[in-house]
C-alpha cells in the first residue's frame, strides 16, 4: 500500500485492502496481469465489486498499492527513515530496495508474467523511493519545495536504476556490497540539498 494506505488506522479498511492486495498477489503467480480482471480479484478476496471501487480506482491502482505498500512495510519493519541530513542515510533505503526487489523477483512466475507488470512495478517503486526521500528533506531541510521535488525525483530514478541493474546481473554480488557504490553515485544529488540548506542558513 502507498504511504496513505500505511497510515490508515481503521482496522476494517486495512483488512479489506490487505485482502484485495493478497488476492492480486496470488493471481499474479497464476496468470498475466492483463488477464486478471477486477472480478477475478474480488472473487479471490471474497468481496464485492462495489467494495473494490470504494478503495481503488482500478486494478492498476491496486498493483501500485501492493508494490509500494510492501516496500513501505519493509522500511517500517526495519525502522528506516530518511532524515535528510546526510546522503549516506539513504544506504538503508537502498539496501531495502535491493532486498524487496529480489523478494518480488523470486516470488514471481515465468518471465512472461514478470515482464507483463515490470513497467508498473518500476513506476510504483520509483514513486515510493521518491516519497521517502522527499519527506525526509521536507522535515530536515529548508530547501524550497520545488527544488526538493526535483532532487528527490532525480535521486529516486538513480537509486532504482542502479538497483534494477544489480538485480538483472546474472551472478550478482551481495546487496551489502553494492550499496556503498550506489550511495556514492547518488550523493551529488542528495548532498546538494544539504549543502544548499547549510549555505542558506550561513547567509542569513
Query: Which residues lie closer than 8 Å to 97 by C-beta, 6 or more apart?
Result: 71, 125, 129, 159, 160, 163
pLDDT score, position 77: 92
pLDDT score, position 120: 86
Do residues 91 and 143 both lie within one domain? yes
Do residues 55 and 144 both lie within one domain? no
More reliable by pLDDT, 193 or 14 = 14
Determine, yes or no, domain membership for 172: yes
C-alpha cell at 157: 530514478
Do residues 38 and 109 both lie within one domain? no
pTM: 0.81
Residue 1 — pLDDT band, cuts 50, 70, 90? very low
**Residue 193 backbone dihedrals phi, psi, to 5 degrees:** -65, -40
Q: Are 38 and 73 in contact (CB under 8 A)?
A: no
Determine, yes or no, domain membership for 72: no
Do residues 178 and 156 both lie within one domain? yes
pLDDT, average across residues 56-74: 93
Give the range of the structural domain holding residue 113, as residue numbers without chain letter: 78-204
- Alpha-carbon distance of 5 to 2, in angstroms, equals 5
* pLDDT at residue 5 tops 80: no
When the pLDDT of each residue in the chain is averaged and rounded to a whole number, the result is 85
pLDDT score, position 198: 46
pLDDT, average across residues 12-28: 92
pLDDT digits (tens, 9 = 90+) for 131-153: 999 988 888 777 788 888 999 99
pLDDT digits (tens, 9 = 90+) for 166-184: 999 989 999 999 999 999 9
pLDDT score, position 203: 47
| Beta strand spans in 2-149 (E) | none
* pLDDT at residue 204 tops 70: no
Amino acid at each position: 500500500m502507498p504511504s496513505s494506505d500505511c497510515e490508515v488506522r481503521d482496522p476494517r479498511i486495512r483488512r479489506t485492502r490487505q485482502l484485495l492486495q493478497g488476492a492480486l498477489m496470488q493471481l499474479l503467480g497464476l496468470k498475466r496481469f492483463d488477464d486478471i480482471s477486477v472480478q477475478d480479484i474480488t472473487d479471490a478476496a471474497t468481496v464485492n465489486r462495489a467494495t473494490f471501487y470504494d478503495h481503488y480506482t482500478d486494478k492498476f491502482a491496486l498493483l501500485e498499492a501492493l508494490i509500494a505498500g510492501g516496500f513501505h512495510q519493509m522500511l517500517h519493519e526495519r525502522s528506516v527513515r530518511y532524515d535528510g541530513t546526510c546522503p549516506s542515510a539513504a544506504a538503508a533505503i537502498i539496501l531495502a530496495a535491493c532486498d524487496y526487489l529480489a523478494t518480488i523477483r523470486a516470488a514471481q512466475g515465468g518471465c512472461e508474467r514478470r515482464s507483463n507488470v515490470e513497467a508498473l512495478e518500476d513506476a510504483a517503486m520509483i514513486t515510493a523511493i521518491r516519497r521517502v526521500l522527499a519527506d525526509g528533506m521536507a522535515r530536515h531541510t529548508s530547501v524550497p519545495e520545488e527544488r526538493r521535488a526535483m532532487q528527490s525525483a532525480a535521486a529516486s530514478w538513480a537509486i532504482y536504476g542502479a538497483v534494477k541493474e544489480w538485480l538483472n546481473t546474472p551472478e550478482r554480488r551481495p546487496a551489502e556490497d553494492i550499496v556503498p557504490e550506489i550511495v556514492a553515485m547518488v550523493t551529488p544529488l542528495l548532498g546538494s540539498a544539504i549543502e544548499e540548506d547549510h549555505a542558506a542558513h550561513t547567509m542569513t
